[in-house]
Amino acid sequence: MAQINFGGVTENVVTREEFPLSRALEVLKDETIAVIGYGVQGPGQALNLKDNGFNVIVGQRRDSKTWDKAVADGWEPGKTLFPIEEALEKGTVIQYLLSDAGQIALWPAVKKNLSPGKVLYFSHGFGITYKEQTGIIPPKNVDVVLVAPKGSGTSLRRMFLEGRGLNSSYAVFQDATGRAEERVIALGIGVGSGYLFETTFKKEVFSDLTGERGTLMGAVQGLFAAQYQVLRENGHSPSEAFNETVEELTQSLMPLVAENGMDWMYANCSTTAQRGALDWWKKFRDTNLPVFRELYSEVAKGNEARKAIEANSKPDYRTGLEKELGELRDSEMWRAGAEVRKLRPENL
């Protein structure tokens, strides 16, 4: 473990230099990793672990789309792909990667199979942090750990195949064996993390829920929609409005930020763009700060968790979700985006 200074604050991080893959394989050489759920995070984590040489099986419901997806990805029924209950019995590490609502529903079956010394692994602190609402309370004789890749399972897999890593947070909630920390770090290296930074279950879920509703998804869509609307109201074409709002940001500027930081991106834009950005960014910060404080407060109070559980547990959840996603998909801005993407050189 290394101590790195981030803007004056020292944090504990683990890289693949001080904890190489060979050490991770040694730590987990006697483990059977059962990946439960093959939806968002499951495929990327399971395939990366498999390709890295770990003993991995997948647990999924038979005759489901995700079972078929697992088969298509190379998992063999009866060898590396099993019904959930059977995988839970076989696994010494239970990677609990179902949706938050799915975790609540399956918890009795999982708890029944948590024999002493096993590892219960999460990629989200939701179930444990909001245990009063989820009912997920592990027995005291198992290790309870977390590795949360900072991105989608698709990104995790894509970056792994490119020879890169996606940064992840890690946490130990319960150390029953005395080996929880080395086991979780080994798992974090195994799933393809670039580096691992230490957190807690509570901090992970508070930051994650805030980020998803904020700059990662909710706030950025709100900013896109507002700017696009203003440009269209002032006579700009859909193509121009979309290019100035989304395409230039995602295809040109954000890669520069990712490579070298916002200051470098500013320094490598026109002087007119620099002046405008420097004049306006604090106004956007000050306008949005009260909204983010309200958002964090709602997350900390558990209100966002309650809303998510209630919504995601409804029998018609998928129908409602498709309606809301359709509203985005069918909006003029994202219909324009679909046409703009077709015109990218690689798509012509």
Active site residue 124: yes
CA terminus-to-terminus distance, the chain = 47
The catalytically annotated residue of 50, 124, 183, 213 is: 124
DSSP letters, 114-155, are --TT-EEEESSSHHHHTHHHH-----TTSEEEEEEESS-HHH
CB neighbours of 86 closer than 8 A, spacing ≥ 6? 59
Contact 185, 158 (CB under 8 A): no
What gap in Å lies between CA 194 and CA 189, rounded to an integer? 8
Compute the C-alpha angle 135/139/140, nearest 5°.
130
* Dihedral angle sign, alpha carbons of residues 150, 288, 218, 265: negative
**H-only helix segments in the chain:** 21-27, 42-51, 65-72, 84-90, 100-112, 126-129, 131-134, 153-161, 180-190, 201-213, 218-233, 238-242, 248, 254-260, 262-267, 271-301, 303-312, 317-329, 332-342
Which residues are known to be catalytic? 124
